[in-house]
Chain A
């Protein structure tokens, strides 16, 4: 049997400090197992949030040696034996107790995104979408809401004051899933630019680096959204084209004109070229 030392952040919203715990470990353990050992043998009052232990519920997010990770997916054999491993709560949000933080910022942001609004049915009473059209958004639906991307994003991690104006990478993934959906009729472009704060992102890709679902957040969600925002607000040729020819579709059938039920509706826009 081997031993491991965890340096765990203990405290609450009034402050705290790291404490060392040395516990026996078995082969094949992950950091969450060792945290449970600490609870069992040394600190029964240690607070930790977890659920599935399979990397699918997104509950056990923490910072391990300073890196945002899922505790249940971080194997102990990836660390040098004998070296203490620091485990602290995700830093961008307020702590409740020990390793548990209050992530309600994210739930508040989620409420600001208009939900999917289906286009009207086609003449034969159906709605159709094709595999090649949904493939792109399927990646975004893998999100487990672990908020590691939110935690690592320097826009809010290092600048609390930006939290008002910036929703964070997890919500750009959500917005991309909706905006690129072949059957969605809502238009969120002004919202994305002005309220969700896409322009704050400087595409430095830390969100992509930490995503346990390997969603290419920056390349596949954020940058394509930035390009759509450019067409809508910054591209003079696209603007001129809109003035002369009016709006035309992003490959949308004419029958699928947005219904009056969706307040954000409009026919979307092709780029200038």
Chain B
């Protein structure tokens, strides 16, 4: 009979304690990733908070900054839906109304969760590097249990993406010099806005919730050919979801920055108008 090493009883109780307490330090530079994530996300949050609150230089005809889209207050130089939903009484930045939607989408995204649980919460800072806190309940309790509502933020992210795509189309329609008509054209800003919606689209449609809703919930794909093909397409995108998360984050920030410096007159937008 196999020897009982005194662990069996503990196992039955469900707890088998690890006995090796020596911590072998990881010899590689594991801290690079958390440092990079904290720096990039921190910088992005600071920049977007400032850009969203300054309430100026977010429009340079025909370019609208993604931080301010849809623009729904009467103070907007370009009101997205034609009529403003919020009147003159609103004295603050119109970005305040919409910034929350992309924010919660990214905050509850499975990829960003992985990144900030590691980099900000140190749970764990890197694989085999011990957790910073003694107690851990993961996503079983408030507030983290709310991460389960990620699919609702996806429902909101899709229309936002559609509006940004509409903005990108408008970025190819330029006013004539005398402001009496419009002409098609291409400017550096149009291309930047197009790239931005492409990255945001790839990010939004490679989402894990999207993958589930498209067909991942099925156990049998026979009789559901469209859902099967959709699911397969999203699967392929989904393997690069992390990459799209970063690319779209950078592209949103840089699009705003570009429109801002053009609007401030620091740079002349190179463009060809037909």
Contact = CB atoms under 8 A, between A and B. Distances in A.
A75 B100 CA distance: 49
Interface in B126-182: 127-128, 130-131, 134-140, 144-145, 148-151, 155
Interface in A79-119: 86, 88-89, 91-96, 102, 104-105, 108
A233 B140 CA distance: 12
Contacts of A210: 127
Given A158-B130, A160-B18, A88 B24 contact: yes
Interface residues of A, number: 80
B113 to A, nearest CB: 6
Most interface-central of B12, B134, B151, B223 (chain A CB within 10 A): B151
Interface stretch (A25-33, A38-46, A199-207): A199-207
B143 to A, nearest CB: 13
A199 B140 contact: yes
Contacts of B150: 230
Most interface-central of B18, B134, B218 (chain A CB within 10 A): B18
Given A104-B8, A234-B149, A252 B135 contact: no
Nearest to B20: A91
A187 to B, nearest CB: 11
A105 B16 contact: yes
Contacts of B144: 202
B110 A223 contact: yes
Contact of A88 (B20, B131, B211, B227): B20
The binding surface of chain B is classed by DSSP as loop
Interface stretch (B91-99, B116-124, B191-199): B116-124
Contacts of B137: 200
Given A102-B7, A210-B127, A130 B222 contact: yes
Nearest to B132: A158
Contacts of B15: 160-161, 163-164
Interface of A: 9, 11, 13, 15-18, 63, 65-68, 86, 88-89, 91-96, 102, 104-105, 108, 129-130, 132-133, 152, 154-155, 157-164, 179-182, 184, 197, 199-206, 209-210, 218-219, 223-224, 226-231, 233-235, 249-253, 268-273
The 6 closest A-B pairs by CB, nearest first: A66-B24, A206-B127, A200-B138, A251-B218, A227-B212, A199-B140
Given A67-B26, A96-B5, 6 more contacts: A102-B11, A133-B221, A162-B136, A164-B14, A200-B139, A252-B219
Interface of B: 5-8, 10-20, 22-27, 110, 113-114, 117-118, 123-124, 127-128, 130-131, 134-140, 144-145, 148-151, 155, 208-209, 211-213, 216-224, 227-228, 238-239
28 contacts: A66-B128, A67-B128, A94-B7, A94-B16, A104-B7, A104-B11, A105-B11, A108-B11, A108-B14, A133-B222, A159-B135, A161-B15, A162-B136, A163-B15, A200-B136, A202-B123, A202-B138, A203-B113, A203-B114, A203-B117, A204-B117, A204-B123, A204-B124, A223-B110, A226-B148, A233-B148, A235-B149, A273-B151
